[in-house]
Amino acid sequence: MNDQAPRQALPPVVDRQAWQEAREALFVREKAHTREGDAIAAARRRLPMVEVDATIQVIGPNGPITILDVFEGRSQLIAYFHAWWPGQPAAEQCEGCTFFNSQVRELSYIHSRDATYAVLCKGPYEESVRYRDFLGLDMPWYSVETTAAQLLEGRDWQRHQSRSRLCSPAPGVAFCSHRRLDASPHRAYSRRRRSRACHCNPVTPSLFPPHLAG
């Protein structure tokens, strides 16, 4: 019986010239990737918007308010749709949603761009807001337990029957940006599943709605 741990697979060791040639070949691909990313960002800024029903309600600390009120008077709203496992302890809640929102700390930077960041959680307000407070987060937190389907037009970003704490493989939207035109909110952009993975830090300008990215 071999008690030794399997050796980690490592890249081969080569001379300096071979390394430089491999590095230059990869650099060409990296530049192409960067240019394609720039082109996608330009297309994102030109993405059309769709109106959202301004009367849809969410539950906050003072009871029901409309999605328009979630803007807090600003022209733009960055909404993260947080999955929730009802009745489960903190350690059993979504790891992906927790990791994402735990990076959102300095809200004044977002506010300075006339935008509000808010979490729309699928769980009941009183239960889920205790989770936010346990994590020491400061962003506005609302429950969309009964209105998520309206806000997302029937799409669901969480499958409760899967009971996977890391809910990112589940289909649906996890992140949406909105713009307020007069008295009507409009969805400008959304991310789902692996489209979120291209930006690890949710507070970078590249993750802002297209109207904030400039």
pTM: 0.76
- Residue for token digits 């409009």? 186
Q: Answer whether 49's CB lies under 8 Å from 75's CB.
A: no
User: CATH fold of 52-207, please?
Assistant: Glutaredoxin (3.40.30)
* Whole-number pLDDT of residue 141: 97
Average confidence score pLDDT of the chain: 83
Residue 214 has pLDDT above 80, yes or no: no
Confidence band of 123 (pLDDT split at 50, 70, 90): very high
Q: Alpha-carbon distance 164 to 76, whole Å?
A: 32
Span 76-109, pLDDT tens digits: 999 999 999 988 999 999 888 899 899 998 999 9
Out of 24-28, 105-109, 188-192, give the one with best mean pLDDT: 24-28
* Whole-number pLDDT of residue 66: 96
Select from 54, 51, 82, 83 the least CA-distant residue to 70.
Answer: 54
- The token pair at 3 is 């008690």
Confidence band of 164 (pLDDT split at 50, 70, 90): very low
Q: Alpha-carbon distance 95 to 64, whole Å?
A: 27
161 SS3 class: helix
Domain range annotation of the chain? 14-46, 52-207
Between CA 183 and CA 187, with CA 185 as vertex, the angle to 5 degrees is: 160
What is the arithmetic mean of pLDDT over 148-172? 58
Between CA 53 and CA 100, with CA 179 as vertex, the angle to 5 degrees is: 100
Between CA 111 and CA 116, with CA 115 as vertex, the angle to 5 degrees is: 85
- Residue for token digits 């807090």? 72
Q: Answer whether 58's CB lies under 8 Å from 119's CB.
A: no
* Whole-number pLDDT of residue 8: 80
More confident residue, 51 or 204: 51
49 SS3 class: coil
